[in-house]
Amino acid sequence: MTDKSASRAPAKDLAPAPAPAVAASPGRSGEGTAWLLITPGVIWMTLFLVAPILMIVYVSFWTQTTFAINPTPTLDSWRDFFTSSTYLNSLWTTVRIWLIVLAATLLVGYPAALFIGIFVRSRNLSIALLIICVIPFWTSFLIRVLAWRPMLGREGAINILLQKFGITSAPIDVLLFSQLSVIIGMTQIYVVFMVGPIAFMLSRIDRNVLEAARDLGAGFGRIFTRIILPLSLPGVVVGSIFVSVMVLGEFATSAALSGRQVNLLGNIIVTQVGSLKWAFASVVGVVLTVIIGIVIAMLLRVVDLKREL
């Protein structure tokens, strides 16, 4: 449906163009261009997204034996997943970690975005600050994750500092190889995806609107709750979608920082694929995809992005 309207619009624009070449076949050349533009994307997505997803769904119903797999349809893998407490726990852990990291990125990211988008008056400075937020991405994902070990470990920087200043007498063990370290690591990596969209929405708020609110007698608190926050919600939703999609599919951070204490659905997929359990890995993949779909659908209900953007 969208393809159709997208191809119509340029055709209409081209129709009154004075160039004779275009005027000779006004509709066709415009429509042809539009199809040409969308074709590579459609081919790519069909081959490498739609087809594999359909394949994963299909494989999840295959019959798995210890070292082989055959396409005889069965519900065994699905039954295994939903009857095993290990896997259901992992499902719950994934949802829990996602919710905590989502809240943490919001808690850390929103004030930062508020500072960048509203309180920094210079456009150049706010862009510079956003670039600074992206600096961690100049190093590889693995290094970023592993760098937390010398930071959070028993002999790590944080414990040394805490003891040096006499805040704690013994090193805190829970900092590394725990759920906490996974949350810290993920929040640090993904918070920038929250800051960006929110700062963008905030920077679009007309300064005069905020001044008008002040002039009408409202202090910052009332201006924030009634004007700034509602106007930034689309940014919060877009940021939340980014963070959710990435956190729900995560496995590397928990593998590197949890010391096997946190098993996310992503970690299970890695393990199952490693032991060639394709059918079971497909079940987990489908479950994860469905969860992500539900989360995105729920987030999109919060605001009408079509209207707000």
- Residue from 47, 212, 290, 294 touching other proteins (CB under 8 A): that is 212
Q: By CB under 8 A, is residue 302 in contact with other proteins?
A: no
Q: By CB under 8 A, is residue 23 in contact with other proteins?
A: no
Q: What are the residues facing 70 on neighbouring strands?
A: 63
- Kindly tell me which of 3 and 211 has the beta carbon lying closer to other proteins: 211
- Kindly tell me which of 12 and 214 has the beta carbon lying closer to other proteins: 214
- Kindly tell me which of 13 and 211 has the beta carbon lying closer to other proteins: 211
In whole angstroms, how close is the CB of 164 to other proteins at the nearest point? 43
User: Taking CA 155 as the corner, what is the angle to CA 152 and CA 157, rounded to the nearest 5 degrees?
Assistant: 55
Q: By CB under 8 A, is residue 154 in contact with other proteins?
A: no
Distance CA 14, CA 7 (A): 12
Q: By CB under 8 A, is residue 214 in contact with other proteins?
A: yes
Q: By CB under 8 A, is residue 217 in contact with other proteins?
A: yes
- Kindly tell me which of 173 and 211 has the beta carbon lying closer to other proteins: 211
Question: H or E stretch including 262?
Answer: none
How does DSSP assign 56-85, residue by residue?
A: HHHHTTSEE-SS-EE----SHHHHHHHH-H
Distance CA 170, CA 270 (A): 36
Q: By CB under 8 A, is residue 123 in contact with other proteins?
A: no
- Residue from 216, 297, 301, 306 touching other proteins (CB under 8 A): that is 216
Q: By CB under 8 A, is residue 213 in contact with other proteins?
A: yes
Encoded tokens for 56: 């994963």
Helix ranges (H only) for the chain are 2-14, 20-24, 26-45, 51-59, 76-83, 85-114, 123-134, 141-146, 148-152, 157-164, 179-203, 207-215, 220-223, 229-248, 252-257, 265-274, 278-302, 305-308
Q: What are the residues facing 63 on neighbouring strands?
A: 70
- Kindly tell me which of 172 and 231 has the beta carbon lying closer to other proteins: 231
Q: By CB under 8 A, is residue 215 in contact with other proteins?
A: yes
Residue showing tokens 């689309």: 234
Q: By CB under 8 A, is residue 281 in contact with other proteins?
A: no
134 phi, psi to nearest 5 deg: -90, -10
- Kindly tell me which of 155 and 206 has the beta carbon lying closer to other proteins: 206
Q: How many residues bind other proteins (CB under 8 A)?
A: 18
Q: Beta-carbon neighbour count of residue 241 at 10 Å?
A: 18
In whole angstroms, how close is the CB of 234 to other proteins at the nearest point? 11
Which x/- pattern, by CB under 8 A, does the window 171-210 give for other proteins? -----------------------------------x-xx-
Q: By CB under 8 A, is residue 304 in contact with other proteins?
A: no
- Kindly tell me which of 6 and 303 has the beta carbon lying closer to other proteins: 303
Interface residues with other proteins (CB under 8 A)?
Answer: 206, 208-209, 211-219, 222-223, 226-227, 230-231
